[in-house]
């Protein structure tokens, strides 16, 4: 007869084994459910209004590097730099079949028309976007019924990417309240691309005959480095923010950077007063078209410079606002994702040339 103690451990070990197995299964089930919940929460946060696309990320394919100058798209650029979620920027053309938006920059579009993917099957729902920050100067008639989106400085573009914009004032911003001091010159102008037939050249010549104007830039062989630009302009009462093209909403860094960040009161020549008033702070600029003649403009500038109280009123907005410059193409592209959900799903620009030239043409109203 054997020792009974040698037979009892077997059932006990089985029970322990079964208990441990059950605990492991429960733990694995709990972890699986937690991962599913976490993933759902992540997807909900990442989509952030992009539910209409039915995807976690919106893929934006840049077909051409703007001006053939590549930049890094590594990582989650839109989130890391601009806190715009659910946005994937890519440049690999092999991703064309899965791209939600394909962006074509105007300069390269015109130079390399044969490079367009007309021979590739276009996925259903994929949108082609025309993008430009330049004033209209090209014939785009061949691109009728090609593009679904416009990305431009124009306020009526599908995605508006201005040269600059206002932000509520914050500590450490570019601007400080009050009138900048150390004024040495009445008026200044930085000009590199001088052409006699431009309207701005005509106004400058008339103004120069009436008041002193300090001129810098390649035209006068007195270029300013990027470090010297704003400090130089800050010494001027007025800055001639004259655009080289008179076109709807075409308001460039001449206003936002040179004038506002430079601390000079801008004298603007470009689109109508209404276009400036729509984006600029109230009473923050002087428009050439507000005067019956260049002589009347010159007299007004002299009167303002001589009256610090009146001159200072043009800078009161600086206490509450800062100027943000948009200089990074990645930020411009990320804005596609930020505004994508509100865009019409089936839009075609039947006359892109007419829209760009502002010939009273709009996207097909039936879409």
* Spatial CB neighbours of 117, under 8 Å, sequence gap ≥ 6: 63, 93, 96, 102
Give the three-class secondary structure for 61: strand
- Nearest-angstrom CA–CA distance, 102 and 64: 10
Nearest to 138 by CA among 271, 276, 247: 247
What does the DSSP 8-state code read for residue 146? T
* Spatial CB neighbours of 50, under 8 Å, sequence gap ≥ 6: 57, 58, 86, 337, 340, 341
Residues with active-site annotation: 134
- Nearest-angstrom CA–CA distance, 41 and 34: 11
Quote the tokens at residue 204: 């400058």
Give the three-class secondary structure for 180: coil
Q: ∠ CA(128), CA(166), CA(155), 5° rounding?
A: 35
């Amino acid at each position: 007869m054997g020792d009974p103690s040698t037979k009892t451990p077997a059932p006990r070990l089985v029970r322990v084994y079964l208990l441990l197995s059950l605990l492991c299964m429960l733990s694995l089930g709990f972890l699986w459910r937690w991962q599913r919940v976490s993933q759902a929460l992540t997807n909900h946060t990442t989509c952030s209004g992009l539910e209409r696309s039915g995807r976690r990320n919106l893929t934006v394919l840049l077909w051409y590097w703007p001006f053939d100058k590549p930049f890094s798209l590594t990582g989650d650029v839109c989130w890391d730099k601009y806190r715009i979620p659910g946005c994937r920027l890519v440049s690999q053309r092999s991703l064309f079949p899965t791209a939600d938006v394909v962006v074509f920059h105007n300069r390269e579009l015109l130079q390399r028309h044969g490079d367009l993917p007309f021979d590739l099957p276009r996925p259903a729902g994929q949108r082609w976007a025309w993008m430009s920050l330049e004033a209209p100067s090209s014939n785009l008639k061949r691109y009728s019924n090609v593009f679904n989106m416009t990305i431009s400085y124009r306020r009526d573009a599908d995605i508006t990417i201005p040269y600059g914009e206002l932000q509520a004032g914050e500590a450490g911003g570019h601007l400080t309240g009050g009138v900048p001091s150390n004024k040495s010159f009445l008026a200044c102008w930085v000009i590199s691309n001088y052409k006699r037939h431009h309207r701005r050249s005509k106004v400058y010549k008339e103004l120069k005959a009436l008041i002193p104007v300090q001129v810098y830039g390649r035209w006068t062989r007195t270029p300013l480095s990027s470090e010297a630009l704003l400090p130089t302009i800050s010494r001027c009462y007025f800055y001639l923010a004259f655009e080289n093209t008179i076109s709807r909403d075409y308001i460039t860094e001449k206003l936002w950077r040179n004038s506002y960040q430079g601390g000079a009161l801008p004298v603007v020549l470009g689109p109508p007063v209404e276009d400036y008033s729509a984006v600029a702070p109230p009473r923050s600029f002087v428009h050439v078209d507000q005067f019956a003649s260049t002589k009347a403009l010159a007299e007004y500038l002299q009167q303002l410079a001589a009256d610090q109280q009146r001159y200072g009123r043009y800078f009161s907005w600086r206490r509450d606002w800062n100027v943000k410059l948009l200089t990074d193409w990645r930020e411009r592209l990320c804005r596609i994702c930020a505004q994508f959900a509100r865009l019409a799903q089936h839009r075609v620009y039947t006359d892109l040339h007419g829209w760009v030239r502002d010939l009273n043409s709009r996207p097909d109203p039936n879409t």
